Each structure stands twice: as C-alpha cells, then as structure tokens.
Amino acid sequence: MKIIKTKIQIFNKSQNAFGPGKADLLVAISHYGSISAAAKSMNMSYKRAWDLVTTMNEVFQQPLVTTQIGGSHGGGATVTPFGQNVLRLYQYAINNSERYIDAQMSDLLKLLN
Amino acid sequence: MKIIKTKIQIFNKSQNAFGPGKADLLVAISHYGSISAAAKSMNMSYKRAWDLVTTMNEVFQQPLVTTQIGGSHGGGATVTPFGQNVLRLYQYAINNSERYIDAQMSDLLKLLN
C-alpha cells in the first residue's frame, strides 16, 4: 500500500507555534475539559502538555486554552472560541493540503512497485 | 518571522520509499558521481547512504542509482534517467505543495503575534 505522510508545522520567531501535536492536544482538552486528562489520554506528561499550552497561548494573539481555579492539576481547562477557530483553520488547511499533495504525488506513486 | 515547515514522505508497503533525505542524497550523488562523496557532503555515514540507495532501488520499478565496478568505496555512482525523473517529479510536487500549503495556512498565520 502506498501512503503519503505529511507533517506541517508552523513556526513563529523560531518557536514551534502550531502543528499536529498541539492540534491533537486541543482536541483532547476540548473533549476532557482538563489538561491532565488530555495529557493522559495522549500518553503525554502533564508537564509537556502544560508547556505546549503555554507556548500556544504565548505565540498567538489571544489564549487558546484557559484554566479554571482549583490548583495546577485540580481545575478544569477550556479551549476558547479563539482556540477552536485556530483548530478549525488548521484542520481545514491540513485536509485540503493532504488532498492536494496526494494529487501532486500521483505520477511519482505510479513509479513505485 | 512566520515559517511553515512541511515534511512529505512516501511509504510503499510500510517502507519509507522516498522523502527529503533521499531526494537530497540523489542530488548529491548526481553532483559528486559517488555515493561515498555524496554521503560525506551530507554528514551521513557511508552505510546509511548505501542503505537509502538500496531501499530506493528496491521500492521503485527501476533502479534510481547504479554503481560502477571498482570496489564498494572505489567505483562511481550514477543517478539513472529514471532516478532523475523521480527526483524531478518529487521536487516539482514539493514546490507546488509548499506554495499551496502557504496559501492554505495564511488565515491561521494572521492569528499569530
């Protein structure tokens, strides 16, 4: 089976601003309503998830994730409307891009066994 | 500065068939006429370069690189017309895809600081 794997990452001032890992994390936070539960569901350390959230919130014009009072592990987390919009724009762009790349690579794929 | 990094890799029967590393290696072999010189120019071990060439030659319908008699390190290497065609198709597809992705991501980039 012939498969094309594409990884698209956005850098801002040489910081890794957004990519597949952060997109998956936003989806999980949105689902679980908590950074720690989201991290656990992705087999990611809480620290790593928190670092990714901090970076996202810094590099964009508005926060993508807000946390509620209740201690670092205790409170809930919410993906803001701004964060949902970032996620939607990214997923839409990725889907279109993958379709486009598949078409672009079709002549090359024909040369594989 | 906002930058989009894209990595596109082609898999055939779960083998990494072609991607940026193999493309760069083909360019270098074409330039130096030798796998060992190409590997050296890329800070890649000779073994690694040879493995990549072997994989490419296996997964495509025709060899991309041929080697001349003269011992494993001694003989020259040539990128075949078939290999040049693979490289050209890949580079063309990558250039188009990167342009397309830039356009697709433009709305998202506007939301960065």
pLDDT tens-digit map of B5-50:
999 999 998 899 999 999 999 999 999 999 999 999 999 999 999 9
Per-residue pLDDT for B64 more than 90?
yes
- pLDDT at residue A14 in the model: 85
Q: Tell me how many helices (H) and strands (E) chain A has.
A: 5, 4
d(CA B7, CA A101): 11
Contacts of B20 in chain A (CB under 8 A): none
CA atoms within 13 A on the CB side of B48: 11
* Segment A46-60 mean pLDDT: 96
Contacts of B104 in chain A (CB under 8 A): 92-93, 96-97
d(CA A49, CA A36): 8
Q: Residue A4: in which H helix or E strand, if any?
A: strand A2-12
Residue written as tokens 């989806």?
A27
Distance in Å, alpha carbon of B8 to nearest chain A alpha carbon: 5
- For residue range A90-101, list pLDDT tens digits in order: 999 999 999 999
Contact between B38 and B50 under an 8 Å Cβ cutoff? The reply is: no
Cβ-nearest to B97 among A13, A61, A100: A100
Using the 8-state DSSP alphabet, how is residue A7 labeled?
A: E
CA atoms within 13 A on the CB side of B15: 15
* Segment A12-17 mean pLDDT: 91
d(CA B101, CA A101): 9
Instruction: List C-alpha distances in Å: A74 to A54, A84, B95.
Output: 17, 23, 47
- Per DSSP, the residues of A48-71 read HHHHHHHHHHHHBSS-SEEE-SS-
- Per DSSP, the residues of B31-89 read HHSSHHHHHHHTT--HHHHHHHHHHHHHHBSS-SEEE-SS-TTTS-EEE-HHHHHHHHH
ipTM of the complex: 0.90
Closest chain A residue to B85 measured between Cα atoms?
A108
- pLDDT at residue B50 in the model: 95
Q: Output the CA torsion B102→B107→B112→B113 (10° steps).
A: 110
Cβ-nearest to A2 among B5, B12, B107: B12
Cβ-nearest to A4 among B1, B10, B113: B10
Per-residue pLDDT for B68 more than 90?
no
Answer whether B104 sits within 8 Å of A96, measured CB to CB. Answer: yes
d(CA A22, CA A60): 13
Is residue A25 helix, strand or coil? Answer: helix
d(CA A54, CA A15): 12
What are A's interface residues with B at a Cβ cutoff of 8 A? 1-14, 17-18, 58-62, 82, 85-86, 89-90, 92-93, 96-97, 100-101, 104-105, 107-109, 111-113
Contacts of B85 in chain A (CB under 8 A): 111
Whole-number percent of chain A with pLDDT over 70: 95
Per-residue pLDDT for B73 more than 60?
no
- For residue range A68-79, list pLDDT tens digits in order: 876 555 679 999
d(CA A37, CA B9): 32
Cβ-nearest to B108 among A3, A93, A105: A93
Q: Report which residue type is found at A3.
A: I
